[in-house]
Structure 1
Amino acid sequence: MPVREVSSSVEVVTRRRYVRAVHLSSYRSSCRISCADDDLGAARVTPFALDHLETLRAIVDEGTFEAAAQRLHMTQSAVSQRIKALERTAGQVLLQRTTPVVPTAAGDVVLRYARQVQLLAADTAAELGHGARGGASDAGAPPPSLALAVNADSLATWFLDALASLPPEAPVVFDIRREDEERTTTLLRQGDVLAAVTSTREPIQGCTSEALGTMRYRAVASPGYVDRWLGGVPSIGRVDATPMLSFDRNDDLQRGFLRRALGYDPRPPRHYVPSSSDFVRAVGLGLGWALLPDQQSADDLAAGRLVELSPGDVVDVELWWQRWTLASPLLDRVSAAVRAGAAGALLPPA
């Protein structure tokens, strides 16, 4: 269904206080809309109660109704009643009652809308001088939380530095979801995050996409690994049956490199090390060979602690920043920080 931008007025509720945010940009895919039969196709948004949206966010973030009740300082029964009321408004089941709770397809749509409303409420409160710890009536109120998705190598090398560069007058806490760069857009599409570092260039519905730069990888191993497994000769042609490292079972980077280099699909024994820093350490310890980004391998290559298995043969992964198409000063500041951080750490976009 195509995205249609509509304009409405939304009342932002914060602990018995009402702040009116005008001209909220919403999207057809983010809330329940009924259209008139006129030539202009005028749309009318069916509003959701803001406390119900807050409850939906809490349940998805915490994983259970019980944990959400603790977070919201209310009973589990009250949480359940709110979700039932929200589902009546939506006209569909929004949550699978599993452990952890999982949104349905309709739940993903409403969850995106709920996070958009949360972000706009934080922006409005900040502009009115009622941000976190910004006024007497909001004393002790927590700063807004932004959920972001990022691949492990970016998280380990440059992404946190980018977030740390945000000025202190823009208080925010981050809910960072680590996922493979080919899968971060799934979290964005589901409404779990507001923005993502991804290798997917094409923007998903309701989002924008901009190039961040290129992360370059090289096939490397320790000298000890080369001596033990490759007869002292660092050659990619000799690793088809020797131990290889993978981050997790979704990591196909090494096998894809082997297929391209050797012309067939070998099945070498694999170690799985799902931590970026420990992954690099495992390579240095000689557990296996792997592709490492220049940011994590250049110093060790220069010092002789690592050797290239296929000198000059690199894998370039283009990274993109996808974010919701939503007018938000806070998300704009975060995006600018990510853009600047990537410019200082990655190769320029192709």
Structure 2
Amino acid sequence: MMTELPLDHVRTLLAVVDEGTFEAAAAELHVTPSAVSQRVKALEQRTGRVLLVRTKPVRPTESGAVVVRFARQLARLERDARAELGMGGAEAEPTRVSVAVNADSLATWFLDALTRVPSDPRLCFELRREDEAHTAALLREGLVMAAVTSAAEPVTGCSVRPLGRMRYVAAASPGFVERHLAGPLRQALPEAPVVTFDRSDELQDTFLRRLRRDGAGAVRHRIPTSEGFLAAVEAGLGWGMVPEIQADPRLRDGRLVPLAPERPLDVPLYWQQWKLDSPALATLADAVATTAAEVLDA
């Protein structure tokens, strides 16, 4: 039984996934659509698995995602090797590094980490914003090379290192507290309007369940940016769980009021990346870990 994965077939599968159709992949690879189809079918026969769902755009199956991740890692290693060998000269394209990062990290400390990455080798960052509970899925699908995630269990083919804990505090504007939270917090808060990031944001519900069994109330304002979320809480649209980094100066000057300062909510964050001997990933990982150690709680 032949178990090798022909590299031209692997690269073809990646092109189909990235381009979305067999025809577009054929144009990208300068071959016919029939050749693309034959290569994908041959790869599926070789692996004994269906690798693509033939929709428009196509998408990889769970097995296909494994091959796609391998293809991206292979491309990364090839670019690193060419750079170390000096192939391409001064005109060589910079290395592109794709990272999944949650919105609150992006708004508070992650960009500082990027400024610490050395300028040699030349890097281009491609960030994908995703909830910290879901960034690992992008790694698993091979769509990013690294991720800030709340998942401590490493994705297959990835290494993991702890970054620290992002602390959140329940807060609201003084006017909101006066209007909605005059009574005991356990009774008043579940009935008060709340600000959430999106439908997958469970921080507010998690906080409330620590006070009582109920989650947050029915009046939910969804504000899908970290800056917009903070502005909405500050404007009095609702209460919300605000990163302590953002909340501290506003608590000090009275723009926000802490609702339960003795009950912060901590979200552990981890750095996961492909297990590759890649200079680009190594320098980025060091910068991220150094910055996180300065900003996040241990």
- TM-score by length of structure 1 reads 0.77
Structure with higher strand content:
1
Q: Deviations over 1:100-134 (max 9, x none)?
A: 4321122111011101101111211121122xxx5
Contact 2:163 2:269 in 1 (8 A): yes
Q: Deviations over 1:211-246 (max 9, x none)?
A: 101100000011121122224x79454111111111
Unaligned stretches of 5+ residues in structure 1 = 1-33, 35-43
Q: What is the aligned partner in structure 1 of residue 4 from structure 2?
A: 46
Q: What is the aligned partner in structure 2 of residue 222 from structure 1?
A: 173
Unaligned stretches of 5+ residues in structure 2 = none
Which of 127, 139, 152 is the equivalent residue of 2:103? Answer: 152
Q: How does 1:139-288 map to 2 (within 5 A)?
A: 139=91, 141-231=92-182, 235=185, 237-265=187-215, 267-288=217-238
Q: What is the aligned partner in structure 2 of residue 93 from structure 1?
A: 50
Contact 1:144 1:171 in 2 (8 A): yes
- Percent of aligned positions with the same letter in both sequences? 50
Q: How does 1:5-154 map to 2 (within 5 A)?
A: 46-50=4-8, 52-65=9-22, 72=28, 74=30, 77=33, 80=37, 83-84=40-41, 86-130=43-87, 135=89, 139=91, 141-154=92-105
Secondary structure of 2:208's counterpart equals helix
Q: Deviations over 1:64-110 (max 9, x none)?
A: 5566567x374783655554454455443322122343211221110
- TM-score by length of structure 2 reads 0.89
Residues 95, 234 of structure 1: alpha-carbon distance in 2 compared, 3 angstrom cutoff: same
Relative contact order (alpha carbons < 8 A, sep ≥ 6): 1 or 2 greater? 2
Residues 57, 302 of structure 1: alpha-carbon distance in 2 compared, 3 angstrom cutoff: farther
Q: What is the aligned partner in structure 2 of residue 294 from structure 1?
A: 244
Structure with higher helix content:
2
The alpha carbon displacement at 1:146 in A equals 2.3
Contact 1:236 1:310 in 2 (8 A): no
Contact 2:3 2:46 in 1 (8 A): no
Contact 2:164 2:293 in 1 (8 A): yes
Contact 2:194 2:216 in 1 (8 A): no
Q: How does 1:303-318 map to 2 (within 5 A)?
A: 303-318=253-268
The alpha carbon displacement at 1:59 in A equals 3.8
Contact 1:48 1:89 in 2 (8 A): no
**Partner Cα separation in structure 2 for residue 299 and residue 76 of structure 1:** 60
The alpha carbon displacement at 1:326 in A equals 2.1
**Partner Cα separation in structure 2 for residue 283 and residue 333 of structure 1:** 37
